[in-house]
Amino acid sequence: MEALAAGLEEEFGSAKAFRPYRDVRFSPDKSPYKTHQGVVVATASGMGWYVQVSAEGLMTAAGWYDGTPGQLARYRRTVDAPSPGEELRRIADRLREAGYVIDGDRLKTHPRGMAPDHPRIELLRHRSLTVEHRYGAPEWLPTPEALDRVRADWRTYEPLLEWLDEHVGEG
């Protein structure tokens, strides 16, 4: 993971590797270690690129994963607005069509004050917005090709991160 992070640093910035230890203070599962290792490159508060390796394989992701109330208010206001809201919808649609998964924490119903039949209600339900791709454990995983795949995915995620940086921003 350190070599992968170093290979991405020049283009995407300084990466932070997560510690391998779990916080077991309030968990019934007292196993001390995580079952995955992840690296994040932050672009703003609660936003950035992410890569993870586990027994399930490689996963790349990016987006807004930990929002403040101010960020959520800006996100909803901007998605509700026609021009930037449609721009986000187009970005999300292109990512889905390319085989990526749009995810994040969502409300089960519509947000308070928003019409249930709003044209972008699915995006308005989000309290966080991420995109990811799970590769499993292909033969190329322990080779330099893994760096190329992560770099390619992160470049593909750039329009989403740029939109989030511009419209949701810092905490």
Specify the DSSP class assigned to residue 18: P
3-state DSSP percent of the chain in helix, strand and coil, to 5: 40, 25, 35
**Beta bridge partners of residue 57, listed in sequence order:** 54
Q: What is the pLDDT of residue 65?
A: 94
Q: What is the residue-level pLDDT of the chain in tens, covering all 171 positions?
A: 899 999 999 999 999 988 888 888 998 999 888 889 999 999 998 999 999 999 999 999 999 998 899 999 999 999 999 999 999 999 999 999 999 999 999 999 999 999 999 999 999 999 999 999 999 999 999 999 999 999 999 999 999 999 999 999 876
Using alpha carbons, select from 19, 98, 23, 15 the residue that is nearest to residue 50. Answer: 15
Q: What is the pLDDT of residue 171?
A: 64
Q: What tokens does 54 get? A: 């586990």
Q: What is the pLDDT of residue 22?
A: 84
Rounded to two decimals, what is the model's pTM? Answer: 0.91
User: Domains, the chain, ranges and CATH?
Assistant: 2-167 (3.30.930.20)
Q: What is the pLDDT of residue 156?
A: 98
Q: What is the pLDDT of residue 32?
A: 86
Output the furthest CA–CA distance in the chain (Å, rounded).
50
Task: Give dist(CA 72, CA 18) in Å, integer.
Answer: 25
